[in-house]
Structure 1
Amino acid sequence: MSPSSPSTGPASDSSSTESLERAHQVLESVWGYDSFRPLQEEAVRDVIHGRDSLVVLPTGGGKSLCYQVPALVRDGMAVVVSPLISLMKDQVDALTNNGVAAALVNSTQTNDQKRETADRIRRGEIKILYLAPERLLTAKTMDFLRGVPISFFAIDEAHCVSNWGHDFRPEYRGLRVLKEQFPNASVHAFTATASQLVRDDIAEQLNLENPHVLVGNFDRPNLTYRMVRNAGKMNQIQHFIQKHPGESGVVYCITRKEVEQTSAALAGTGVRVLPYHAGLSDEERQSNQEAFIQEKVDVIVATVAFGMGIDKSNVRYVIHAGMPKSIEHYQQESGRAGRDGLAAECVLIHGPGDVMSWKRILENGDRNNFDAAMQSLNSMAALCNGVHCRHAALVEYFGQEYDADNCNACDVCLGELDVVEDPITLSQKILSCVVRLKERYGAGHTVKVLTGSRDQKVLQAGHDELSTYGLLSNDGAAAVRTWIDQLISQNHLVSVGEYHSLRLTPSGRELLRGEGQVSLTRVATRSSASNAGRDSWEGVDRALFDHLRALRSQLASERGVPAYVIFGDAVLRELARIRPSSLAKLEGIRGIGEHKRNEFGQLFLDSIDEYCDQTSTDRDQANGSVPPPKMPVQPNAASMQAASLFREGHSVDEVAQRMDRAESTVHKYLGEFIQLEKITDPSPWVDTDEAAAIRSALMAAEDERLRPIYEALDEKVSYEKIRIVSSCLKNELSASNSE
C-alpha cells in the first residue's frame, strides 16, 4: 500500500476551464507572452488536470513553461528534477527575476541556506523547487516532502531515464518510486530528443499511469545548417566566428586536447574565449561557464560535457569542430543555438578521421551497446556527407515528414553545394577503381590511385598500372574522398572489416552499369544568407541594439545573473526596432512581463532616450517589421532549357525525358518557370476540378505549410500539384494587390 501523502490533487472538471484561463493570464503577466507555442497549451492542460504526461519538444521549444506556468496555477508546490546544478541555478534565477517564488537545494549550499529554504517551504512560500535526482531520492528529502503539499513532479532531461537514450544516467531510474510515494501527485517527463523506443522506455521506467504523449515538430526553422568538409579546420572556425562579432557562440570539439588547442588559438587572435571540459577542476569549469553565461566572454570551446547545463537563449552560432557521435547528440548540441527563436547558424566541420576517433572512444566504453552506437555513428556520417536538405534529413530521422521542398536555411537548399553535372559517369570511375582493387582497399588508398599518387604503397602494389590510375587527378584528393563518402552515405559503397575495405553494394553494381540514381556535389565558393537571418534583423537599429546590450550586461553583472535573464535578444531587437517612448508602449512587446516591465522598463527607456537624443532618431516606430522583398529566382542553363520546353507546351514527363532529369528536378524547374512568368492558371499541369479543390484548401489555410492542405484533401492529391496551384495562386494574389 502506498503511504499517505498531502499531495494536492488535480483541478476538478468544473474548474478546468477557469484554470486554463488562469494559465493564460500567468503566461502574459509573468512572462509577457500573449499565447502558447505549439503543444505548450496541451502540455499545460495535462499538468493542470493531473494527468501523467511525456512531452518531447526540441531545444528551444519552450519545455520549461509547460511545468512552470501550471505550478503557479495549481495549489501546492511543484518539484522539478534536473540533472545539473548550473541548469537549476539558471532557471531559478530566471524565475526569481520574473517575480516567481522558486528555490533549489544542492550540495554547493551551506546548511543555513538549506534550512532557510526548508522553512520557506513549510510556510508555503515556495511554488517551484528544483532538486537533482540523487538528492530527491534520499530518505531525508523524501520524508520531508511527504509532509508538504506537492502539486506534481516534472522530470527534466527525461531521456536520461532510458538506457536506449543518448545520455543514460542510472540515478534517474530510481524516480519510478515517485508514483508509489506520492500517489496524488502527477508525474510529467520532458525531453528534447527521444525516439519511439526511448519514449516507451521512459514511460515504463517512471511508472507513468496512462500518460498523454506529446511529440513536437523536430524542425528548428530559425537555424541554418552547414556541413563543411575539413579543409584547414582552425581557419574555418575563425572564419565562422568572424561572421558573428561580439555574439555568443559555442565550439564543440571531440577531445579535451583539441578543446585546449582551439581555445588557445582563438584567444591568440583576440577572441574572448574560454575552454570547458571534464579535465578542468570543478571551480574552473563553473567559473568559465558563468563567464560565458554572463557575457564576459563571447565563445566557449568545449567537449560534449558542456551544453545540457546551460539555459542561455541568445547563442547565435554553434560550431562542431568534428562530427558528433549520433544525430541525437547533434540535434541537442546544435539546438543550443537560437533558443530565443531568432536566426542562428550551425556549422559542422567534419572529416574522414572523425568516425575513426569515435570508434576508438566507443571501443573503450560499454561494449554491450557498441553495435547500436556504431549504427548511430554511421547515421551521423551519412548526414554529414548527404546531399539532401539538412532540415528534412533531421526531421525524417526522428520519424516526421518535412513538407517543404526548400528550407532556405541549409547549405544544400541555399545552393552552396554545386551538384556534379554527370554524377553517374563520375561514380562509375570511382566504383570501377574499387572493383579493380578487388574490393580489398580502403578509401585512402583508393583516393591515391584515382588521383595518380606516387605513394610507395601504390607503386609497390602495381596499382599505377591500373586503367583507373590517375583517372581523377585533376579533381584533387579532397574532392575524391568527399565523393567516396557520398557514395557510402547513399549506400552504393560500404566500408567493411578491420581495414575498412570498400565494397560495392547491389545498388553500387547497378550504378556501375549506368542504372539507378546518385547525387554528388562539389563545395561551392559562394555562401548565402538564409531567409531567417535576414528577417530577424529587418528594421532593427543595430547600433541601438548594441547600446541596449551593454546596458543588459551591466544589469546582469550587478545582479550576478545571466544576461538573457534580464531580457532576451528578441526583446532587445524589438526595442531597437520600435524605439518605444513610454512604459505603456512596452506592453505590446512579446517577452516583457509585468514584473520585468516594472523593474527594468524605465532603465531601458532612459537608455533609448539617450541614444535617440544623440543620434536624432525617431521614436515609436510601427510595431513589427516589414519582410524583405524576395530575391528573384536566378535561372541556370538547365532551368532555362526547361522553361523553353514548358512554353512549347510539353508536360513534366516529356521535359524529364528530353532533359534526362528526374521528375522531382523538373518539378523544381516548373516552379521557377511559374514564378518567373507570373503564371496564374495551373490547368496545363493540374486537372481543373483538382485545381479548384486545392485552391479552396489553400485559401482556407492558416499558414503556408503544405501538409495540412494534403490532409484536407484526404491525401489524394500529390504535393507536386499542390505546389503548382499554390505558386499560381500567389501570382494571382500578387497581381491583384498591385492593381
Structure 2
Amino acid sequence: MDTAQALLSSVFGFDAFRPGQAEIVGAVVDGRDTLAIMPTGGGKSLCYQLPALVRDGLTVVISPLIALMRDQVQGLQAAGVAAGALTSGNTDEETDAVFAALSRGELKLLYMAPERLASGGTLPLLRRSGVTLIAVDEAHCVSQWGHDFRPDYLRIGELKRALGVPLAAFTATADEETRAEIVTRLFDGRQPDTFLRGFDRPNIHLAFAVKDSPRRQILDFTRARKGQSGIVYCGTRAKTESLARALTEAGHLALAYHGGMEPDLRRDVERRFQQEDELIVVATVAFGMGIDKPDIRWVAHADLPKSVEGYYQEIGRAGRDGAPAETLTLFGPDDIRFRRSQIDESPAPPERRAADHARLNALLGLAEAQHCRRQTLLAYFGEAAEPCGNCDLCDTPPALFDGTTAVRKALSAVLRCDEGFGAGHLIDVLTGKATDKVRQWTHDRLSVFGVGREYDKRQWNAIFRQMMGADLVRPNPERHGALYMTEAAIPILKGEGTVTLRKDTLAVARKGPVAKALVSEEDAPLLSALKAKRRAFAEEARVPAYVVFADRTLIEMAEKRPATLDEMARIGGVGAKKLERYGEAFLSVILGAPAPEMHPARRKLSASGGGDLFDRLQDVHSRLTRGECGTLKPMSLTASQITKIVRQRPRDLDGFARLVGERQAERFGPAMIEVLGSV
C-alpha cells in the first residue's frame, strides 16, 4: 500500500483516503474479486483508478455513461495518466489515437460502454492489450429487477471468464436483492470481497412536496437559489424543454438535456454545465447525465422518480464536494398513475412487474413519511439512523391524526369489492357516488357504500397513497391495478391495530384546469395494458396502431370489460376478422389470464352473435348423449354439425334430419328445435 499511498498524493493530490477507500483499494490491488457499495460522491472511481496505476497491465473500465467516461479520461490525462475511451461519442481521431496507444502498450486505463462487448472484435482486442483487471462502474445495471437494467452488462461475466482476470464492481445503490444478482451475474455466484460503506449523504437536505401548480413550485424553488448550479429532473423530454424555457423566461440560465438531442448539442450542454457556475440543466430522469461536477448545489424532481434507488442516485449528484446541498421532489396522483401504467405496460414477466410495484410503493412510503426522511431512506437500504435534522420533516414535523377508522373503512371497501378494483372505484363507493360502474356491479348495495362521505375524493386519494406507502394495500399487476389487502392490514381491519396518517397531504389544493381523461381513473391501468398489446401487434405488422383497433374500441373494452369472446364481439369496432385475429389476445389482457380454450367452429360463431345459441345447444347435446333416460347407446353431434344448426336454424324434424341424419334427429331434434324456437 506504500505505492498506492504515494500515488494518491502525487497523482490525485489527496493526503489521505476517505473512510473505507483504503480497504477497497487494497483488495483490488491484491487482485481479489471485489464488490463495493459506496454512496454517490464517496470516491468510487478512485478505488479502481488508483489500483490500475499500481498493478501491471491494462485495466478495462466498463461504464454505461459516456459523459462520465469522457470526464474521467480527461481528468486522468490532465493528471498525467495514460487513459483512453472507446465510445460512440468519440471522434474518428480520438478512436484512432486510442487504438494506437493500445498497440504500443501505453494505456493504463481503457474505458468502454457495455454495448461494445457485443462486438466480435472486442475480446481479441482486449486479449492483445494485456488486460489484467476489469472494473465495472454502476454495477447495479446488471440487475434485471433494477430501474437501470442494461442487457449488455450480462456479457461482463463472460468477459471475466474469457480473460481469466479479477473483477472489481462498484455501485452506489444496491439493495440485498440486487447485490445477490450482481454476485450471480458478474462473479459466477462466488462471493467476492464485499464492502458496504453506507448510503448516508448527511450534507444533502431532503424534501418532498405534493404537487400544487408544479411549474410554480419549481420556479419558486429555483428563485430562492438563483446563481447556483442545479438539475431539474422531469418525466418526459417535452417537459424538459418547456420547463427550461420557463426558467429562462424567469431570468435563469437554463438548458434542456435528454436522449433525443443531437450528440453535439448534448456535448455542448455537458461542457457548459461543467464550466458555468450558474447553469441549470433540465433533464429526463431516464437519461443519466454522468457528469462529475462536485459543486452542484441542488437537485429538484418535477416528477416522481421510478424508485428509491433512482431517487437516491439522482439526488446524489448534488453536493459531491461535501458542502451543503438541497433537494425537492414533487409528487401527485398523476405521477403515481403514470408510473403504475409504465410498470403494467412493461413486457416484463408478472413477478418482475410485481417487484417494480413494490419498489414504487417503497418510494411512496418515503414521499408520505411521517418522521425523519433520512431514517426512512436509509432503512430501505438496511441502515439504522438517528433523526438527521436535515430534512423537511425534521425542520417542520407534520401534523398527524389517528386514521384508523378511515383506513378500516377503506380496507372494508377493498374486501367488499372482492379486491378487484382500483382506488378510483373504491372512492366512488366510499363517498356514495352511484356511477354507472358502481351500479353495474351493484356496489351501491354494499354496506360500505357512502360510509366515507366525511372525506372528499382528493382526501381519499391521499389516504390510499399513504396506505400503499405503509404497504397495507398493493396493486395487483394481474388485475390492472386492482388493490388487494396485505397481511399487515389484517390486524387493523380486525380492530387489533391502529394507523397514524399525515394531515397535511389531505389538505385541499387550489383547483385549476384539469385535462379530461379518456377513461375513469379505475379503468386507466387496463386501457394502458390494452394499448401496450395493440402496440405490439402494430409493430409486428408494421402498421399504425389504429389499424389494429381504434382508441374508442379500446376505451369501450376497458369500460365494459368483456369476459368472453361473445361479449368481445359486441364491442364497437371488433368485427369477425379482428375477433378471430386479436380477440383471444385482448381478452387475456382483460381477464389477466389466458382466454378459455374454444373450438374454432364455436369461436367463429362469436362474431355472428350465435355463440350463446351454440352453448345452449351444446348443453342439450351433453344432456341427451345417452337419451332422456340416460341408458341408451351413446350418440353425438360434431361441433360442425351444431354450427350448421345454429346458422340454418331448422324449425322441424325434417329440416333437422337433413343437416344431421335421421337417427341423430330422433335423439336431439325435439329438444334442440324447442331451443331454436325460443330465440
Q: Tell me if 1:402 matches 2:395.
A: no
1:239-286 deviations in Å (ceiling 9; x for gaps):
221232111211112222332332222222122212222333333333
Contact 2:147 2:306 in 1 (8 A): no
- Paired residue for 1:205, among 185, 207, 219? 185
CA distance in 1, matches of 2:124, 2:484: 62
CA distance in 2, matches of 1:524, 1:357: 20
TM-fit CA distance, 1:434: 7.3
What letter corresponds to residue 241 of structure 1 in structure 2?
T
Q: Tell me if 1:179 matches 2:160.
A: yes
C-alpha change, 1:446 and 1:147, in structure 2 (3 Å) is closer
2:366 is matched with which residue?
Answer: 383
Q: Tell me if 1:53 matches 2:30.
A: no
CA distance in 2, matches of 1:448, 1:268: 42
C-alpha change, 1:396 and 1:310, in structure 2 (3 Å) is same
Q: Secondary structure at the match of 2:293?
A: coil
2:174 is matched with which residue?
Answer: 194
2:298 is matched with which residue?
Answer: 317
Farther-moved stretch of structure 1 (310-319 vs 444-453): 444-453
Following superposition of structure 1 onto structure 2, how do residues 617-636 of structure 1 map, counting pairs within 5 Å?
none
C-alpha change, 1:180 and 1:345, in structure 2 (3 Å) is same
TM-fit CA distance, 1:65: 0.5
C-alpha change, 1:426 and 1:464, in structure 2 (3 Å) is closer
TM-fit CA distance, 1:317: 1.6
- Paired residue for 1:269, among 224, 227, 250? 250
1:561 is matched with which residue?
Answer: none
1:597 is matched with which residue?
Answer: none
Following superposition of structure 1 onto structure 2, how do residues 113-262 of structure 1 map, counting pairs within 5 Å?
113-135=94-116, 138-183=119-164, 185-207=165-187, 211-262=192-243
TM-fit CA distance, 1:49: 0.7
CA distance in 2, matches of 1:454, 1:205: 53
How many residues matched? 499
TM-fit CA distance, 1:324: 1.8
1:372 is matched with which residue?
Answer: 355
Q: Tell me if 1:100 matches 2:100.
A: no
What letter corresponds to residue 348 of structure 2 in structure 1?
R
What letter corresponds to residue 278 of structure 1 in structure 2?
G
Q: Secondary structure at the match of 1:289?
A: helix
C-alpha change, 1:366 and 1:323, in structure 2 (3 Å) is same
1:392 is matched with which residue?
Answer: 375
Contact 1:275 1:301 in 2 (8 A): yes
Following superposition of structure 1 onto structure 2, how do residues 457-468 of structure 1 map, counting pairs within 5 Å?
468=451
Farther-moved stretch of structure 1 (492-501 vs 242-251): 492-501
What letter corresponds to residue 284 of structure 1 in structure 2?
L
- Paired residue for 2:279, among 295, 298, 303? 298
Farther-moved stretch of structure 1 (92-101 vs 216-225): 92-101
CA distance in 2, matches of 1:164, 1:437: 31
What letter corresponds to residue 23 of structure 1 in structure 2?
A
1:310-362 deviations in Å (ceiling 9; x for gaps):
22222222212222222222221222222222222222111122222123223
CA distance in 1, matches of 2:322, 2:328: 18
Following superposition of structure 1 onto structure 2, how do residues 512-661 of structure 1 map, counting pairs within 5 Å?
515-523=496-504
Contact 2:137 2:171 in 1 (8 A): yes
Q: Secondary structure at the match of 2:45?
A: helix
What letter corresponds to residue 184 of structure 2 in structure 1?
E
Following superposition of structure 1 onto structure 2, how do residues 36-75 of structure 1 map, counting pairs within 5 Å?
36-75=17-56
What letter corresponds to residue 331 of structure 2 in structure 1?
H
CA distance in 1, matches of 2:126, 2:413: 69
CA distance in 1, matches of 2:328, 2:294: 18
Q: Determine what percentage of the aligned residue pairs are the same residue.
A: 40
Q: Secondary structure at the match of 2:320?
A: coil
Contact 1:418 1:524 in 2 (8 A): no
Contact 1:463 1:469 in 2 (8 A): no
CA distance in 2, matches of 1:519, 1:377: 21
What letter corresponds to residue 203 of structure 1 in structure 2?
V
CA distance in 2, matches of 1:505, 1:142: 49
CA distance in 1, matches of 2:166, 2:319: 32
C-alpha change, 1:511 and 1:152, in structure 2 (3 Å) is closer
CA distance in 1, matches of 2:481, 2:225: 39
1:583 is matched with which residue?
Answer: none
- Paired residue for 2:62, among 71, 81, 84? 81
Contact 2:140 2:171 in 1 (8 A): yes
TM-fit CA distance, 1:437: 8.6
Farther-moved stretch of structure 1 (332-341 vs 197-206): 197-206
Contact 1:259 1:302 in 2 (8 A): yes
Q: Tell me if 1:483 matches 2:463.
A: yes
CA distance in 2, matches of 1:353, 1:248: 29
TM-fit CA distance, 1:45: 0.5
Q: Secondary structure at the match of 2:100?
A: helix
TM-fit CA distance, 1:199: 2.5
TM-fit CA distance, 1:217: 0.6
Contact 1:323 1:381 in 2 (8 A): no
CA distance in 2, matches of 1:298, 1:451: 48
Unaligned regions of 5+ residues in structure 1, if any? 1-19, 526-739
CA distance in 2, matches of 1:207, 1:169: 17
Farther-moved stretch of structure 1 (272-281 vs 441-450): 441-450
CA distance in 2, matches of 1:314, 1:33: 18
Unaligned regions of 5+ residues in structure 2, if any? 507-679
Following superposition of structure 1 onto structure 2, how do residues 6-25 of structure 1 map, counting pairs within 5 Å?
20-25=1-6
TM-fit CA distance, 1:417: 1.9
C-alpha change, 1:27 and 1:232, in structure 2 (3 Å) is same
C-alpha change, 1:192 and 1:300, in structure 2 (3 Å) is same
TM-fit CA distance, 1:447: 5.7
Q: Secondary structure at the match of 1:520?
A: strand
TM-score normalised by structure 1 residue count:
0.60
C-alpha change, 1:295 and 1:464, in structure 2 (3 Å) is farther
CA distance in 2, matches of 1:454, 1:270: 50
2:604 is matched with which residue?
Answer: none
Q: Secondary structure at the match of 1:146?
A: helix
What letter corresponds to residue 379 of structure 1 in structure 2?
A
Q: Which has the higher contact order (CA 8 A, sep 6+)?
A: 1
Q: Tell me if 1:26 matches 2:7.
A: yes
Contact 2:206 2:390 in 1 (8 A): yes
TM-fit CA distance, 1:195: 2.8
What letter corresponds to residue 386 of structure 1 in structure 2?
A
TM-fit CA distance, 1:394: 2.2
1:285-324 deviations in Å (ceiling 9; x for gaps):
3333333233276222221233252222222222122222
Contact 1:327 1:376 in 2 (8 A): yes
Contact 1:424 1:518 in 2 (8 A): yes
CA distance in 1, matches of 2:452, 2:217: 32
CA distance in 2, matches of 1:502, 1:144: 53
CA distance in 2, matches of 1:51, 1:61: 21
2:393 is matched with which residue?
Answer: 412
Contact 1:55 1:191 in 2 (8 A): yes
TM-fit CA distance, 1:123: 4.3
C-alpha change, 1:87 and 1:458, in structure 2 (3 Å) is same
C-alpha change, 1:504 and 1:120, in structure 2 (3 Å) is closer
TM-fit CA distance, 1:465: 12
C-alpha change, 1:107 and 1:429, in structure 2 (3 Å) is closer
- Paired residue for 2:72, among 81, 91, 94? 91
2:309 is matched with which residue?
Answer: 328
